[in-house]
Chain A
Amino acid sequence: MSKKWKPVFNPFERYPEKALAITGTISLLLSVLLFWWAKQTNDGVYHVSPKADLSLTGSLSEAIICTLVVGTLLWALGKTINPKTRIIDVLNATLIHRIPLTIGILVLQLPFIKSVMDQILQAVKSNRLETLSGAALWTSTLVSLLMLAFFVYAIVLLVNGFRTAVHARKTVHYLLFAAVLIVAELIYRLLLYPLLSTL
């Protein structure tokens, strides 16, 4: 990776923990407002769906719990791999990696994209997909690719943040990292979200 792009893909190598923590916390709070305004619920750590009656408390709880579940599990894994791992470094990685995901939700709220998504939803509901215009299909394909790019970028940030915090070097560390993300998704989706959705 060139020096120019390193801070973009691995800001954890360069920036001090305070700057990362402030940026991460501000972006988390902005994402709470965005999710609440857009009425989008985090029904999985990496899954979002519409929820018309989402409250601000609900949005805040989801954002905090999602971050804490991933952060705590990764920190526990980090401590096992390297006892010198600090919770602040893992939490910073968890907070910062959610920024691209938040930007993704923001992009989906752009009026012309929202309108295309609504058209597709209506067409699916009425089982008349053939009525969709070429432009709508192209837009939805491009938006899907863009969302995929945001998701990949988020995971790259989390991997790099974890690697820097833990000094992970072996393949087994990355396999355990992937396993922890799956466990976090399961814990959140099956145990925590059903409790949070009542808020």
Chain B
Amino acid sequence: MKLPIYCPSCENPLKVSQLKCDSCNTQVNGNYELPLYLKLSREEQDFIMEFFLASGSIKEMSKQAGISYPTMRNKMDDMIEKIKKMTSNV
């Protein structure tokens, strides 16, 4: 199931308020930040996973995706910029 990361009502980022143990039904309540990786869109998460699986090779990724090296590098730079912004806002 896709994890929602933005409020469907006001579109602000969602936080974690409850965690539950499936074994003993213990519930933990609180106000937790989502990890950075989960704050990214599904496509962006897939991109990072593909980068990892390609041993960190943009060239290999571009081959698999059927696009040129600079295009893939530009995508990567856009994501780096986005993540830097996200981390600086924390």
Check if A and B associate.
yes
Query: A residues within 8 Å of B by Cβ?
Result: 12-17, 84, 86, 89, 164-165, 167
Partner of B67, one of A13, A84, A86, A167: A13
Q: List 24 A-B contacts (CB under 8 A).
A: A12-B68, A12-B70, A12-B71, A13-B67, A13-B68, A14-B66, A14-B67, A14-B68, A14-B71, A15-B68, A16-B63, A16-B68, A17-B68, A17-B69, A84-B73, A86-B70, A89-B69, A164-B68, A164-B71, A164-B74, A165-B70, A167-B70, A167-B73, A167-B74
Interface membership of chain B positions 57-83, coded 1 if the CB is closer than 8 angstroms to chain A and 0 otherwise: 000001100111111011001000000
Secondary structure call for the B interface:
helix
- Give Cα A144–Cα B62 distance, bound, in whole angstroms: 40
- For B62, give the chain A residue with the smallest CB separation: A16
Chain B residues with Cβ below 8 Å from A164 are 68, 70-71, 74
CB distance from B43 to the nearest CB of A (A): 17
Partner of B77, one of A15, A16, A17, A167: A167
- Give Cα A89–Cα B68 distance, bound, in whole angstroms: 10
- For A19, give the chain B residue with the smallest CB separation: B68
Chain A residues with Cβ below 8 Å from B66 are 14
- For A10, give the chain B residue with the smallest CB separation: B71
- Give Cα A127–Cα B74 distance, bound, in whole angstroms: 56
Chain B residues with Cβ below 8 Å from A165 are 70
